Structure 1
């Protein structure tokens, strides 16, 4: 993915083989296609900070850093809780969300030095997705680090007691001692988000759009009271009209700009622009200041890299008659130096902004 220009991501159906780790995918949902096999985030790191339940894999972006041999391969992984109530809070790194970065040099112990094949490989059994090449076992429910093992068959692995119970109820109770079935049958635990490939395309710029300077001039004109008082309703004095106009510039104007910016590509779920323009905010409320973005553990500043749009929620199938998972936009900030922490998964920073209640 390029920097200093906006690239858009769209969710599309894809063959399963295209979403495996060796293809270095950008993807939504399903199980994570882990990049490095060392230092995976453990159960405690993937536990929701609000309810304590395991977070589900939400999406990952493959975003290598040009000119950085130690980040020839580089991916960002976002995890989110499945409980809608945990998304009520907005702002810095809400407990329901967590993002990690991992990177590898071109020459490594896991992947070929050459680019990945563009043809589908021979089909592998489903269980291949639950074990890394190094032998590390993954949870049958979520595909994360499976540090726990079924005490009866000693073959099924889980990230937590919660997911062991889910699998037991979903069918492991019957297949536990039937090793053949365990290898090929993984039930639907109703935990994973729907899986899609994220297809990346550059955003097309429209030169006919009004410049920001022209927009500001127009805003000033709109804030200037009309010379002819007959143009305003008798029930509203000049002060009230000006106050209403100012209120529009704080919330409605930003929301309108958001809608206009995405109107040409309303299905976009990702806006990527590292080292370029910042997030496209959906509201004037809860916009972070530079001091609100904490430095990386290495001491370097974090910079905006990409944002997740509310359109993604349509693909996650999280709508319900009651409370649903929701956000206005999620802005992801990462280490400006893309520091190398020994191939381990390094936590980065996410800012959650909701749609203003006044819009």
Structure 2
């Protein structure tokens, strides 16, 4: 049996109801549509390991395992810091990025046994409806994560941290605190969440790719020859090593460009335990030993990668420093272990664009 094919993900505008929890969405930005209600990550688990500030929800993928009854529903959640300076390091996720996995059997206490409805609800839910789970757990008004803190005055607004309580106070809770109706119907823009989109997935059509490897080899040979002629006075061993490195790096980058050329808007490449990541550079590619095993003892395998195109949708461009990556490769437990229905942290490898390309 061959390896599974690659599924591409694209960001598209969607009606708010399609991104609700009961639809098991794949989505970018906004607040997380939590899958299971048990074992939600606490504020300490979703703080940036570099600056200590709360991370923002980046995206989630619905990725069920059809041959696993305990993973009939399964989602992966990616969070990232809002501070660009925290993204400077490459390699193992430097603390500014976190990925969590959660899964449920088909029969559970939260969702219907039947598939979700295809039609929108008669009455759209209020914004505050997203801030309390069926089990009664409260979610932060700013980020939508577990909120152990609450306003000491109205006792109705809940927060994950003092940082977000201050944000909400400045954004309007100072006024709405004494107005319950306003509190329940309007949530201000705190300038913290990323723009929200649905992720639409479709198979990659690799038959349409036209990669001229012979032409690329000729270009590589010409580049190496040119390098030798220009710098013939420099140590030959150094030149040979430099040319070899540049050729390999250019070849990987060229493969990256050609592979995505037919679908340049792709933001996700999904292929659990099949084709590995499409690297953007020859530098900083992890070895098998660089990927830590799961806490259950099983190896982690590649599941999906986040492409640099997503950054355009996040609106993070800045005149100064911006959030940036070449690609993010996410590795998850090969057994997709069920850790008492809790949210399990998985592994991210961040690769930046090489300075030589």
Q: What interval of TM-score do these two structures reach, taking the shorter chain for normalisation?
A: over 0.9
Report the more deviating stretch, 260-269 or 125-134. 125-134
2:220/2:247 contact within 8 Å kept: no
**Aligned-partner Cα distance in 1 for 2:135–2:324:** 37
Deviations 1:8-41 (A, max 9, x none): 0000000000000000000000000000001000
2:60/2:76 contact within 8 Å kept: yes
Match of 1:295 among 293, 296, 311: 293
5 Å matches for 1:166-205?
166-205=167-206
**Who is 2:132 aligned against?**
131
**Aligned-partner Cα distance in 2 for 1:67–1:332:** 21
**Who is 1:274 aligned against?**
272
**Who is 1:329 aligned against?**
327
Q: 1:244 to 1:299 in 2, by over 3 A?
A: closer
1:247 deviates by 3.3
**Who is 2:310 aligned against?**
312
The TM-score normalised by the length of structure 2 is 0.93
Report the more deviating stretch, 67-76 or 90-99. 90-99
2:209/2:259 contact within 8 Å kept: no
The TM-score normalised by the length of structure 1 is 0.93
Deviations 1:38-94 (A, max 9, x none): 100000000100000000000000000121000000000000000000000111121
Q: 1:222 to 1:249 in 2, by over 3 A?
A: closer
**Structure 2: gaps spanning 5 or more residues:** none
The answer to whether residue 157 in structure 2 is matched with residue 159 in structure 1 is no
Deviations 1:102-144 (A, max 9, x none): 0000000000000000000121211101011111110000000
1:223/1:246 contact within 8 Å kept: no
1:237 deviates by 4.3
Aligned Cα RMSD in Å? 2.3
1:248 deviates by 2.9
**Structure 1: gaps spanning 5 or more residues:** none
**Who is 1:101 aligned against?**
101
**Who is 2:246 aligned against?**
248
1:251/1:284 contact within 8 Å kept: yes
Determine helix, strand or coil for the equivalent of 1:206: helix
**Aligned-partner Cα distance in 1 for 2:56–2:301:** 25
**Aligned-partner Cα distance in 2 for 1:44–1:169:** 23
